[in-house]
A and B are shown apart, each in its own frame.
Chain A
């Protein structure tokens, strides 16, 4: 053989060997087994440790393995999950009683010590839990009995239960014995499914917890597949490789329906708006101008022509009726160009003005189309907005650093706690990345945070909402739709506004 031939043979061998040899170890996870549900979602948890990933797509997978003390009830209130009951002893002390007979997947019984350990772990900055901020008002947890404990907060902190809706309870003894890495390799919770496999950026497999304290799930196995590309997810639904797929683009709905899939839409706990920077000199400092922009945008057109009827128009507040603190008496700003022009003229800006509009592509459902439509409509009243697209990775940071805008698209997320307190916190003068500042707002909002009586707190948040509508610190658009599709044989699947899925009761029929 000549040198050339020898080298060619070597190259061919190396290529063949790597092609056939590497990486192919796992069994196929296609939707073959009648009792297995394959869920296609944009990403899976970054780690099986639920305290270390707060991304929305991670929440449904974590919820199969772990449980919280409380959950929202979908009507602005709370229901106990691991907590059987709770009551407030004084403005800073809450007393909880756990359900008895709850067992972790390793057979250990749930006790108050596990709750104390869990909360302290999140509170420890060394853990680097992204959930820390939600419960950082907690000063300490006192165990008062095997199933009873007290949570003491630094000062009155009304949204404590909201904070607890993200806290997955872990088994203290097991965790301490295995350490963080050992726990992440074989996580144990109290949820309806037990851990099976986790392959980074690829899939997570969970299996039925036969001894689940509320009865075994009907499915034997659930596979969460990370599929970042929307078109691929839709293709996977069409080929039957996926049983369920979430975040289906609105324009694909008819196509999937024609293929015989079931389609559903949930209005996610996420209010899409255009933020208006009014705490720096410029036209937006005038309330009339901000209101004019709201009158100039046709929300119905966004809903019908871009989202094809999926989603819900925000009625002059950043949360939908599924949130605690939603004000049912508010109405959306009507689409009224002459009123918008009049308000601009009254503000001395009858000739309109030029402004930068920062947008994204692919960060939110149909964001680019919505940005272009809004800009076109603002042009009708002489507001000439220049669209500048900002790369997704730096969007939040520029928001926090206050270098977006004066106009920029944004979605205020309020799941899983489903409470208006979450987004409104950013509208305070001292809020992270704040862009609006009103003393009246700050006073009223602070009052709501100190108010421990839910009825009075709701009324206060509703007053805050009214004030926000009048002040118009944003252009209110829509509540983002979460469109999902499921194969015909899947029974009982629904996606919830808080991004979770009740997989406990889902069934899969024969193919």
Chain B
């Protein structure tokens, strides 16, 4: 039980920092809306209906990257991470709290982006929405770890997309598949598998990434 309350406290801390500072979420919202408008001009009229779904996924992944790049900045700036590492809690709780907070930001940005997508482009069915949700979990699980890794490097903003995008390719396959394939459940299962495998890996390996 203490593990869960640690996670909740850490996640709440991130949300509160965001509420007070408003650094990340407005940027993500604006970015995803601008991206959708850019896509309207980027797709030729005869490109077919399904092309928009692909671009939606590009927008989702890059919006997530924007949020992830900021994820560990508060910890870096004020030496918070050292404090957290000294705290008597399991290190993986830090990762889980961060992943959940990032998930909350991502979901909040999608609460605006998905209706906008439906308005501008194509409708989304339940399978597609479930695909978005499952992929979000994977993005935040893997992304929080990669972001913590990149934060230690010299060029952290450059490094994160490089580390993250090859790992995100299966998520994009699953997400686009769940939106366009007539047999979308298969892709949901695949996303579930991805989430399970990589969440466990990230959970188990976070401690090695942050400790000196």
Co-assembled chains A and B: no
Which residues of B are at the interface with A, using a C-beta cutoff of 8 A?
none
Which residues of A are at the interface with B, using a C-beta cutoff of 8 A?
none
